[in-house]
């Protein structure tokens, strides 16, 4: 049977034709699905292939009776409907969101939690209103410190029996006032030029450019401006890291994403042909600083070399990159890539110990086999 192999520009494929890509299910209920990272091709991930990270069943909200309530340390508490939010000045951000649990499966020894590989990340165009404009409408009081974003989803969480059950809790995270007021934070009603889908937070979600996904609260119904730090479950019991302050390690909520490049192709275990050029291809992203460099090491003695960054440098979005490699010798190779951001942060070699089970950004090699070039027409078909 004939199969048509579609090659991307400059790419030589020795793998069978890939099937139509589809989301990889990590958990059925609540829905947690992963983007098949090996199918990466464009700057924007289509919404139907975008990863979904839900802690509770996704609420089915009706825009007609949905309202956004803004209260707390504000001069004028507000209640807005969707039409009045859509009528405000709109902003579009192309931004990457990575779940802090992305890459958890690479932890040694294994860590509890959803075993994401490399697809709990995606880049999309998000359209909505600046959170700062809504906060300005409400009039933030001078002693305000944080802005709490509350989703319409809730449920009972397993607190490991270390504490008494607090009963059902909503998904809620706070942002420091400074980040809430920044131009990198919007409340989005659209994704890739379509209204948000239910899975991605319809009718309104936060887009917190440069920050890990837990800050991007979906199905927002309530914003409270706080005068003291929020210590809710998703802030203090999950999505934290250890930071040594004044000698003692203390828990700090996760914020910015860590600098990271991932290889989409070749995939683990791929067979490449000696003497034939292959396009190593992937994406790189980080926190609030843009990606400046991606380097590739093919383990053939030539060390780290520069990959080409495709697309222009856009803060908050990921950057696609490629590196053309012609393996000369047959054998096993470990392909590595690493990103460096505009602030000079370099992706680490080794697993880190301060991030609990999160922010797995150390280099994960892709192992490939380089096989001999077929000598003659007949030999090519000998099995
Ligand atoms: N209300 C609500 N918002 C949420 C979550 C959630 O469970 N409930 N999950 C968060 C996490 S951990 C991530 S990684 C992102 C994922 O966004 P996506 O599902 O649109 O990809 O949503 C965030 N916003
Ligand atoms: Mo996440």
The model's pLDDT over 187-234, given as tens digits with 9 standing for 90+, comes to 999 999 999 999 999 999 999 999 999 999 999 999 999 999 999 999
Query: Which of residues 219, 253, 287 is at a domain's end?
Result: 253
The structure tokens listed for 361 are 């950004």
The structure tokens listed for 334 are 């470990």
- Nearest Cα residue to atom 12 of ligand 1: 214
pLDDT at 383 over 50: yes
Residues 130 and 235 placed together within one structural domain of the fold = yes
Residue 276 lies in a domain: yes
pLDDT value of position 4 = 45
DSSP-derived pairing of the beta strands 52-53 and 169-176? unpaired
| Number of neighbours of residue 21 by Cβ within 10 angstroms | 16
Residues 79 and 181 placed together within one structural domain of the fold = yes
Regarding the beta carbon of 153 and ligand 1, being less than 6 Å apart is answered: yes
Interatomic CA distance for residues 24 and 37, integer angstroms: 10
Question: DSSP class of residue 212?
Answer: -
pLDDT value of position 114 = 97
Pick the ligand that lies closest to the CA of residue 218: 1
Interatomic CA distance for residues 286 and 210, integer angstroms: 7
Regarding the beta carbon of 55 and ligand 1, being less than 6 Å apart is answered: yes
Residues 323 and 177 placed together within one structural domain of the fold = no
pLDDT value of position 379 = 54
DSSP H helical ranges for the chain = 82-86, 131-138, 177-181, 233-236
Residue 272 lies in a domain: yes
Nearest to 318 by CA among 24, 23, 130, 50: 50
Regarding the beta carbon of 173 and ligand 1, being less than 6 Å apart is answered: no
Nearest to 47 by CA among 194, 164, 149, 185: 194
Residue 378 pLDDT grade (very low, low, confident, very high; cuts 50, 70, 90) = low
Residues 288 and 147 placed together within one structural domain of the fold = no
Residue 71 lies in a domain: yes
pLDDT value of position 380 = 54
pLDDT value of position 330 = 97
Regarding the beta carbon of 219 and ligand 1, being less than 6 Å apart is answered: yes
Residue 67 lies in a domain: yes
- Nearest Cα residue to atom 15 of ligand 1: 213
Residue 89 lies in a domain: yes
Residues 248 and 268 placed together within one structural domain of the fold = no
Please say whether the beta carbons of 317 and 288 come within 8 A.
no
| Per-residue pLDDT tens over the stretch 104-153 | 999 999 999 999 999 999 999 999 999 999 999 999 999 999 999 999 99
273 φ/ψ angles, rounded to the nearest 5 degrees: -105, 130
Residue 109 lies in a domain: no
Q: How far is ligand 2, taken at its centre, from the CA of residue 239, in Å? A: 8
pLDDT value of position 247 = 85
Nearest to 202 by CA among 47, 87, 96, 72: 47
Cα-based angle 189, 190, 194 (whole degrees, multiple of 5): 140
pLDDT at 83 over 80: yes
If you average pLDDT over residues 274-278, what whole number do you get?
Answer: 97
What is the domain-level CATH number for residue 131? 3.90.420.10
Query: Which of residues 220, 253, 286 is at a domain's end?
Result: 253
Regarding the beta carbon of 213 and ligand 1, being less than 6 Å apart is answered: yes
pLDDT value of position 5 = 47
Residue 158's domain comprises 60-95+121-253
State what percent of residues in the chain have pLDDT above 90.
82
Q: How far is ligand 1, taken at its centre, from the CA of residue 378, in Å? A: 53
pLDDT value of position 2 = 37
DSSP H helical ranges for 87-246 = 131-138, 177-181, 233-236
Interatomic CA distance for residues 102 and 167, integer angstroms: 28
Q: What is the DSSP string of 279-297?
A: EEEEEEE-SSSPEEEEEEE
The set of residues, in sequence order, having a beta carbon less than 8 Å from that of 230 and lying 6+ positions away, is: 146, 148, 172, 173, 174
What is the domain-level CATH number for residue 356? 2.60.40.650
Residues 277 and 345 placed together within one structural domain of the fold = yes
Residues 131 and 72 placed together within one structural domain of the fold = yes
Pick the most confident of 159-163, 241-245, 312-316, 357-361.
357-361
Residue 7 lies in a domain: no
The set of residues, in sequence order, having a beta carbon less than 8 Å from that of 215 and lying 6+ positions away, is: 173, 175, 206, 208, 255
Interatomic CA distance for residues 118 and 122, integer angstroms: 10
- Residue-averaged pLDDT of the chain: 92
Residues 160 and 188 placed together within one structural domain of the fold = yes
pLDDT value of position 377 = 58
Where does residue 351 rank: exposed (0-12), middle (13-18), buried (19+ CB within 10 A)?
middle
Q: How far is ligand 1, taken at its centre, from the CA of residue 1, in Å? A: 43
| Per-residue pLDDT tens over the stretch 21-68 | 999 999 999 999 999 999 999 999 999 999 999 999 999 999 999 999
Instruction: Tell me how many domains the chain contains.
Output: 2
Pick the ligand that lies closest to the CA of residue 171: 1
Interatomic CA distance for residues 213 and 227, integer angstroms: 24
Give the length of the chain.
383
DSSP bridge pairs for 220:
151
Where does residue 307 rank: exposed (0-12), middle (13-18), buried (19+ CB within 10 A)?
buried
Residues 202 and 73 placed together within one structural domain of the fold = yes
pLDDT value of position 169 = 94
Residue 29 lies in a domain: no
Residues 223 and 274 placed together within one structural domain of the fold = no
Residue 9 pLDDT grade (very low, low, confident, very high; cuts 50, 70, 90) = low
Place of tokens 């696609």: 320
Residue 376 pLDDT grade (very low, low, confident, very high; cuts 50, 70, 90) = low
Q: Which residue among 104, 171, 256 is best mutated to probe the pocket of ligand 1, counting the most ligand atoms within 8 A of its Cβ?
A: 171
Residue 246 pLDDT grade (very low, low, confident, very high; cuts 50, 70, 90) = confident
pLDDT value of position 326 = 96
pLDDT at 167 over 90: no
- Nearest Cα residue to atom 24 of ligand 1: 217
Residues 354 and 269 placed together within one structural domain of the fold = yes
Residues 284 and 242 placed together within one structural domain of the fold = no
pLDDT at 3 over 50: no
Query: Which of residues 235, 253, 271 is at a domain's end?
Result: 253
Q: How far is ligand 2, taken at its centre, from the CA of residue 122, in Å? A: 12
Interatomic CA distance for residues 116 and 37, integer angstroms: 11
């Amino acid at each position: 049977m004939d199969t048509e192999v579609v090659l991307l520009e400059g790419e030589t494929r020795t793998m069978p034709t890939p099937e139509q890509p589809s989301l990889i299910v990590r958990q059925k209920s609540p829905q947690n699905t992963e983007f098949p990272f090996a199918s990466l091709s464009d700057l924007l991930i289509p919404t139907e292939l975008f990863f979904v990270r839900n802690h509770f069943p996704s609420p089915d909200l009706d825009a007609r009776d949905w309202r956004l309530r803004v209260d707390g340390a504000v001069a004028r508490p507000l209640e807005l409907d969707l039409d009045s939010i859509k009528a405000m000045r709109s902003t579009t951000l192309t931004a990457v969101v990575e779940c802090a649990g992305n890459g958890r499966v690479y932890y040694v020894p294994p860590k509890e939690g959803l075993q994401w590989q490399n697809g709990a990340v995606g880049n999309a165009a998000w359209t909505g209103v600046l959170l700062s404009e809504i906060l300005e409408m409400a009039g933030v009081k001078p002693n305000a410190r944080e802005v709490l974003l509350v989703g319409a989803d809730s449920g009972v969480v397993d607190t490991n029996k270390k504490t008494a059950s607090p009963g059902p809790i909503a998904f809620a995270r706070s942002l420091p006032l400074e980040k809430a007021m920044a131009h990198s934070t919007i409340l989005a009603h659209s994704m890739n030029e379509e209204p948000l889908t239910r899975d991605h937070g319809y009718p309104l979600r936060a887009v917190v450019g440069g920050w890990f996904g837990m800050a991007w609260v979906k199905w927002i119904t309530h914003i409270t401006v706080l005068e003291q730090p929020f210590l809710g479950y998703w802030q203090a019991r999950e999505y934290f890291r250890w930071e040594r302050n004044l000698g003692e390690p203390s828990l700090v909520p996760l914020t910015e994403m860590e600098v990271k490049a991932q290889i989409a192709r070749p995939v683990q275990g791929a067979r490449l042909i000696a003497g034939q050029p292959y396009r190593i291809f992937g994406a790189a992203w980080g926190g609030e600083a843009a990606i400046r460099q991606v380097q590739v090491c093919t383990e053939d003695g030539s060390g780290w070399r520069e990959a080409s960054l495709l697309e222009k440098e856009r803060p908050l979005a990921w950057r696609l990159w490629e590196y053309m490699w012609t393996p000369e010798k047959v054998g096993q190779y470990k392909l590595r890539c690493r990103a460096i951001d505009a602030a000079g942060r370099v992706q680490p070699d080794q697993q880190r110990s301060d991030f609990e089970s999160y922010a797995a950004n150390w280099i994960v090699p892709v192992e490939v086999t380089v096989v001999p070039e077929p000598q003659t027409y007949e030999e090519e078909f000998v099995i």
